[in-house]
Structure 1
Amino acid sequence: MSAAGGTVSGQITGLADKCVDVADGNSASGTQVQLYDCNGTPAQQWTNPGDGTLRAFGKCLDVRHGSIADAADVQLYDCNGTPAQQWVITEAKDIVNPAADKCLDVRAYNSANRTPLQIWPCQGAANEKWNVSTGGTPSIPGTEPVPAPPGDGGSPDGFVVSEAQFNQMFPNRNSVYTYDGLRAALGAYSAFANSGNDTVKKREAAAFLANVSHETGGLLHIVEQNTANYPAYCDASQPYGCPAGQAAYYGRGPIQLSWNYNYKAAGDALGIDLLNNPGLVESDSSVAWKTGLWYWNTQGGPGSMTPHDAMANDAGFGQTIRSINGALECDGKNPAQVQSRVDSYVGFAQILGADPGGNLTC
């Protein structure tokens, strides 16, 4: 496939000059995406942040259930970085999902309002051709030229941690914990290390990496080391049970995701079936990092806020400790563990060239 470069900004028109539309202007995840008379409403305004996704209402154009089958519906869904949300617009005006190698298609060549959109083998037909409005210089999602790496000033996509800095932080890490895997996971939570000024961004990145370093022995361990605990993490009272096995839900990944209900919750949030496939957290670098970012950005744990909110709102590194393991470490319970986390944070902040701020302990 050939592709031209750029950012989508506005309507996407197709068969009968009608628009790609979010049904009834409903921004809820799972809402059908359809063909409809162009009307200029927000339901027909699509943008691309440069990561290969197409977005309306801040959510992503998504192939339902991650299917690659012919006639799989497309929908609006929370952005989660999965292949089901990656699209390339070609010079031939196809919108292609590379994972399925299929085109965005108007079902049954029907130009009536509310006709669902789907994926279908690319055939060059009129119901697979799209005209994309662009903002500024015409360009296409996912094909922008990547700038040269800026040394230790961050990554090409704006992440405040460069690969050299990451390697300096984790010289002995497990091979699963790759820098590319971390960067691939960032799209699942776009606010992570991307809120506030440059210092706030660097503090949050340092805080996350310091906590995961503590949890994993410097990213050395991908799984919990005490195998005797493995069968304990199945809460059989949950209606979905433990389909992968009694001993399948032990700690994995950078924040050691544990328990069947956490695998279920993280998987649902990320659009990945971790309840049935928990091993993905120890075999797929991007999935491993996404589970860590899921906890960091959405879970308060024993604390009163998420770790992301703690750093974005300047509550201090100590509140991230409380949200991750406060019941066992904070309020004088285990000061040595707290200090270990603080030492890592201060060191990582120094590598990133950021003042670590106050309120370091809990």
Structure 2
Amino acid sequence: MPITARQLLQIFPNAGPVAGVFVPALNEAMARFKIEGRLRVASFLAQVGHESGQLRTVVENLNYSAEGLVKTWPNRFSRVSAAAVARKPEQIANIVYASRMGNGPAVTGDGWKYRGRGLIQVTGWVNYQACGSALGLDLLTKPELLEQPGYAALSAAWYWSKHGLNELSDAGHFLDIGSIINTGKTGTAPHGAAERKALYDRALQVLE
């Protein structure tokens, strides 16, 4: 069921003009990965809507304060080390994503190069490699491709399919979908659970 620009703006009223840009991108991505039918489409839109700030953000925001760094990554930052890199997104990315997800140590710059991009943020060397292989893109050399609407949507739909989220949508396990996207596992409430659910309920109404 292709969505229209009018429907997308009803679901994402904060998207503004960018909604029109994303309509063909989302429709192509959903068709390719069989995100079809009211439940699947509503679930997918709700999750990408939350993850992207209603389609307005396709690159991870790492502009943290010192307090935010300590709170978010208590095992990575002390108050002193956090103060040294606060509001320096590139340095922050290289520290928090160092030697994880296939990235090299901080000095390689992999954390910044492979920071979260796309409507469901692909993060880390391993995930960029897997996504690029699936979509036929050289994302290791050109990770910024995921900032383009078409690839931002396709990468999200690829992630969705890879993690079996169509099946969870069909079964009505909406909370588990958010948990997998946000925490990597079920059984824990995802960040922004209330907003995800509100977007889902609105999408179900719009898509009736």
Q: Is TM-score (shorter-chain normalized) higher than 0.5? A: yes
1:253 and 1:291 in contact (8 A); partners too: yes
Structure 1 residue 186, shift from structure 2 partner = 3.5
Partner letter of residue 8 of structure 2?
A: F
Q: TM-score, normalised by structure 2?
A: 0.72
> Do residues 178 (structure 1) and 18 (structure 2) align?
no
Where does the alignment leave 5 or more consecutive residues of structure 2 unmatched?
Answer: 64-88
Taking a change above 3 Å as real, the CA distance of residues 226 and 268 of structure 1, as seen in their structure-2 partners, is same
Taking a change above 3 Å as real, the CA distance of residues 318 and 249 of structure 1, as seen in their structure-2 partners, is same
Q: Secondary structure at the match of 1:344?
A: helix
Distance 2:154 2:195 in 1: 24
> Do residues 307 (structure 1) and 165 (structure 2) align?
yes
Match of 2:198 in 1: 343
Correspondences of 1:312-323 after superposition (within 5 Å): 312=170, 314-323=171-180
Distance 2:101 2:166 in 1: 31
Structure 1 residue 184, shift from structure 2 partner = 2.9
Distance 1:249 1:166 in 2: 29
Distance 1:188 1:322 in 2: 24
Taking a change above 3 Å as real, the CA distance of residues 181 and 234 of structure 1, as seen in their structure-2 partners, is farther
Distance 2:11 2:205 in 1: 11
Taking a change above 3 Å as real, the CA distance of residues 245 and 327 of structure 1, as seen in their structure-2 partners, is closer
Structure 1 residue 241, shift from structure 2 partner = 9.7
Identical positions, percent = 28
Correspondences of 1:1-362 after superposition (within 5 Å): 158-159=1-2, 161-173=3-15, 175=18, 178-189=22-33, 191-193=34-36, 201-227=37-63, 228=89, 229-231=92-94, 232-233=96-97, 235=99, 238=102, 245-246=109-110, 247-282=112-147, 284-299=148-163, 306-312=164-170, 314-326=171-183, 330-331=187-188, 337-353=192-208
Structure with the higher fraction of residues in strand conformation = 1
Structure possessing the higher radius of gyration over alpha carbons: 1
May I ask how many residue pairs the two structures share in their alignment?
A: 176
Q: Secondary structure at the match of 1:286?
A: helix
Taking a change above 3 Å as real, the CA distance of residues 208 and 275 of structure 1, as seen in their structure-2 partners, is same
Q: Secondary structure at the match of 2:143?
A: coil
Q: TM-score, normalised by structure 1?
A: 0.43
Structure 1 residue 263, shift from structure 2 partner = 0.7
Q: Secondary structure at the match of 1:171?
A: coil
Taking a change above 3 Å as real, the CA distance of residues 270 and 234 of structure 1, as seen in their structure-2 partners, is farther
Structure with the higher fraction of residues in helix conformation = 2
Where does the alignment leave 5 or more consecutive residues of structure 1 unmatched?
Answer: 1-157, 194-200, 300-305, 354-362
Which of 1 and 2 has higher RCO (CA within 8 Å, sep 6+)?
Answer: 2
